[in-house]
Amino acid sequence: MKKIEEYVRSIPDFPEPGIIFRDVTSVLQDADGLKLAIDSMQKYVEEVDCDVICGTESRGFIFGMPIAYNLHKPFVLIRKKGKLPMKTVEESYDLEYGSATIEMHADAIKPGQKVVIIDDLIATGGTVEACAKLVERLGGTVSRIVFLMELEGLKGREKLKNYDVKSVIHYEGK
C-alpha cells in the first residue's frame, strides 16, 4: 500500500516561482488515497474525547464529514461570512493580502462541548485560529485540531501553540 504522501501531487512554481503547491485534489481523486487520508485523520480524532466535529469551508467539510459520520458525531460547518441562514457568530483574521471573516451558527456549539476542528492544510494558521476562537466564544473546548497536511515553513503551529495539533503529513517548506 502506498503512503499518503504519494497521493499528494506537488506542483512547482505555483502560484508563484519558488512555491511548491501541495494539491489535495489528487488525494480525493484516488479511492485508495481518499480512504487512507480519512482513516489517518480519523485516528487522531479517536485519540481524544470529543462531542462535535467542526470543519472549515470547504476542504474541512470534505474530510470532516466522513469522520463525523464514521464516529457518529454531529458535524458543524464553519463557513465564509454570509453563507449561513440563522444567527451567527463571526471571527475575522488576516490573510497574506487582506483579511477574511468566518462564521458558524450561534447555536452550533453548546457550553462544555468538546470539539475537534478538521481542515486539509495548515499554512499560517490564521483560519483555524479563528475557528478555535469561535468554538471557545460559544463555550466549547477545542480538544484537538487535525490537518491532513502541514507546511512547517509557514509556522502556523505557532499561532496554534495553545492547542493540541496533529498533522498526517509534514512538509518542511512553504
Active-site residue set: 59, 96
Q: Which residues sit opposite 118 in a β-bridge?
A: 55, 146
Give the up-direction half-sphere exposure of residue 149: CA atoms within 13 A in the CB hemisphere.
Answer: 24
User: Grid coordinates representing 26?
Assistant: 489528487
Length of the chain: 174
Neighbouring residues of 31: CB distance < 8 A, sequence distance ≥ 6: none
- Please enumerate in sequence order all residues whose Cβ is within 8 A of that of 161, keeping only pairs 6 or more positions apart, or say none: none
Specify whether the CB–CB gap between 65 and 45 falls below 8 A: no
